[in-house]
Amino acid sequence: MAATARRLRILLLDEGHAWQDLHDSLIGLGIIIQRVAHVSSLDRLLDTAQADALLISTERPLSPGVEASQRIARQARLTRAALAANRRGMPMVVLVESAEEVLTHEALAAGAQDIFERASTVALLHARLMLLIESARMRAALLRRPWGRDALTGLLDRQGFVDAAVSLACADENVLSQPLVLLLVNIDRFSRINDALGAQAGDDALRDMAHRLKHTFRQMPQTALARVAGDEFAVLLTGLRRAESAQALARHLQADLHRPMVCGGLECLIRVRIGIAADLPGATVDAASIGALLARAARASTDAKVIGVESVFQEVQTSSAAHRDRLDLEAGLVGAIERGELVLHYQPIVDPLTRTVSRLEALARWQRPDAMVYPGEFIPIAEETGMVFDIGEWAVTRALQQVRDWRAAGIRVPGVSVNIHPLHLERAALAETVQQALRSSGLEAGVLQLEVTETGVMRDVERAIVGLQQLRELGVRCALDDFGTGQSSLAWLSRLPIDTLKIDRSFVTDLDGSLPHQAVVRSIMVLARSLGLHAVAEGVETIAQRDSLHALGCNAMQGYLYAKPMPAGELAQWWERFESAVPSNPPPALHESGPSQAGRRTRGDFIPERR
Ligand code: C2E
Ligand code: CA
Ligand code: CA
């Protein structure tokens, strides 16, 4: 299973032997290389060779005159190879002399996961291959996992639905060429059935609904049916030619669900609202996009703002509690900055060996009169309303003022890292705000780091580069957040003007004893080193994780083991305790009692943040 447990096997398609040196160096690294004589023999070899990845060279420079036809032939060869590799879930990397734009585009458009330039080091290629192979394995494992089921109705549960949806959508190219339609069925005031007739009657209603759903879609094999929340059912349809046909299906389903049913021995009528959302063919399908589709369908069912199917929603008389909550959040968020309700909490990034703090990450919190709201809840709303840009600019300004105040009070905070939305990079206002905030705080530009997520940057990498470059020119540092999902290509990564990779928490969480995750983190460390970048591990919670990270060469850590995000006023006290703890190797955390164990949750020296 683990990438480290078995020698890597690579297929090399390089008819002209132009990459003999690379071939030899990879063998020197202990990798098993099998040459493919021609693209036509690739399919057969892929089935027999048990290879982990495919390397394919591009042909010699195009000769003038016949350039166009050669280019078409080159593209056809790449596409053919990529199809063969992708069908088997195998990563393909294209070897190029230099990453001239055209070739990079051609290779990635053909379906390659990455390109590799001759001038780069073999160690870099090795690390990149490990990452690609590991993420391909994780995807495959995800697809093999039995999908979660809801015990009451036998339908998929929410997680099972997401897995099944991703798997269905990626099953074949036919599906990919059709829209992905989601119907979200919500029972109106379901709690009234429970309250009036008892939980047993409620269960009867849910089971009957599930039965009717199965019946309605029995002849549509490419669908996934789930109970995604207490009184919410979801249907994913992949076989519809046009997203609009969903409207007719939704009406039909609604009519069926409105027929009387027997709950707790009594006949009752339930009313449902159905929201429809659709992704057009070609859109990225992953857990996040399915989550977003569910959220859009939920909104559609309450706003009646769906692909032309308002009539399905005419029966909506009252808005649901969730809808009210959302409206309440939406309304409350307007003006929250002006009212001083937004605050920043700070989480240190530490080196546990030297017990030093290299930077603090600023994380937004919304302090409402009655409750604290976390970014997971309000950032999505802020994204929709465009307020996320105001929040980003406020956070930059506020965080720099805070560093200035700390320094004035004798607390030597080296720097601060602020999260911004990737689309913010495309706005000129960001650089202006940054400049203004730096000027008024009197701090040197290197104090500020901005974090953008890898996925966000990769969505439009060329524009992101322009934005990042501008910030870099001001002297500001940039970090790629939630890094490691394997989406960014090496070609782009080496061109991104960034300073730091923040290793996604998911890899750190599973570090205890998980060899594949160790391989991923090791690859990220090699990648970071080859590209001259810092690496920070996020979400370090246990001593075992800290020790694994340390063994893998990563000493910049952020996580509950050291501190939860805390209000600015608590930093001095935390820092004093952190510095005065006895350093050792491996360093024990404060309050630790007994020997550290793999996987054990160990309370570190944090000041708890109540959630
Ligand atoms: P992120 O940038 O990946 O931030 C790290 C998140 O992980 C934070 O959640 C932090 O509290 C949490 N965390 C840190 N250490 C640990 C740990 O050891 N274990 C666990 N389980 N969690 C840990 P938080 O503060 O809820 O923020 C969530 C996300 O919201 C952030 O993820 C970031 O993407 C976004 N966000 C936060 N503040 C802002 C902001 O000002 N602007 C924008 N655009 N996004 C923000
Ligand atoms: Ca972050
Ligand atoms: Ca992160």
Distance CA 106, CA 100 (A): 10
List the end-to-end C-alpha distance of the chain, in Å, as a whole number: 37
Considering only CA atoms, which residue is closest to atom 27 of ligand 1? 375
Give the residues of the chain that fall short of pLDDT 50.
Answer: 1-4, 304-320, 586-608
Any idea which ligand is nearest the CA of 502?
3
CA of 359 to the centre of ligand 1 (A): 15
**Hey, what's the torsion of the CAs at 381, 384, 387, 393, to 10 degrees?**
100
Q: What are the angstrom distances between the C-alpha of 277 and each of 178, 258, 290, 330, 565?
A: 14, 22, 10, 21, 36
Q: Which atom of ligand 1 is nearest to the CA of 375?
A: 30
Distance CA 78, CA 282 (A): 20
CB atoms within 10 A of CB 409: 10
Considering only CA atoms, which residue is closest to atom 22 of ligand 1? 539
Q: Is 375 in the pocket of ligand 1 (CB under 6 A)?
A: yes
Contacts of residue 345, defined as CB under 8 A and 6 or more positions apart, other chains included, come to: 362, 363, 364, 365, 565, 566, 567, 568, 609
| Nearest residue to 122 (alpha-carbon basis) of 42, 8, 37 | 8
Q: What is the pLDDT of residues 545-591, one digit of tens each?
A: 999 999 999 999 999 999 999 999 999 999 999 998 865 554 433 33
Considering only CA atoms, which residue is closest to atom 10 of ligand 1? 565
Q: Is the peptide bond before 586 cis (omega within 30 degrees of 0)?
A: yes
User: Does an H or E element contain 225, and which?
Assistant: strand 223-229
Q: Which atom of ligand 1 is nearest to the CA of 347?
A: 14
Considering only CA atoms, which residue is closest to atom 8 of ligand 1? 363
Annotate 370-416 with DSSP letters as a single string: S-EE-HHHHHHHHHHHTHHHHHHHHHHHHHHHHHHHHHHTT-----E
Residue 539's DSSP bridge partners are none
Annotate 243-271 with DSSP letters as a single string: TTHHHHHHHHHHHHHTS-EEETTEEE---
Contacts of residue 424, defined as CB under 8 A and 6 or more positions apart, other chains included, come to: 388, 389, 392, 430, 452, 467
Q: Is 391 in the pocket of ligand 1 (CB under 6 A)?
A: yes
Q: Is 420 in the pocket of ligand 1 (CB under 6 A)?
A: yes
- Strand runs labelled E in 159-212: 180-187
Any idea which ligand is nearest the CA of 363?
1
DSSP secondary structure code for residue 150 in this structure: -
Token code pair at residue 471 = 């910030």
CB of 91 within 8 A of CB of 133? yes
Q: Is 421 in the pocket of ligand 1 (CB under 6 A)?
A: yes
Q: Is 378 in the pocket of ligand 1 (CB under 6 A)?
A: no
Distance CA 322, CA 464 (A): 35
Contacts of residue 403, defined as CB under 8 A and 6 or more positions apart, other chains included, come to: 413, 415, 416, 441, 443, 447
CA of 228 to the centre of ligand 3 (A): 26
pLDDT of residue 228: 94
Distance CA 457, CA 540 (A): 24
Distance CA 71, CA 100 (A): 14
Any idea which ligand is nearest the CA of 562?
1
Radius of gyration of the chain (CA): 27
Any idea which ligand is nearest the CA of 364?
1
CB of 34 within 8 A of CB of 12? yes
Q: Which amino acid is at 579?
A: E
| Nearest residue to 610 (alpha-carbon basis) of 565, 571, 573 | 565
Distance CA 154, CA 423 (A): 41
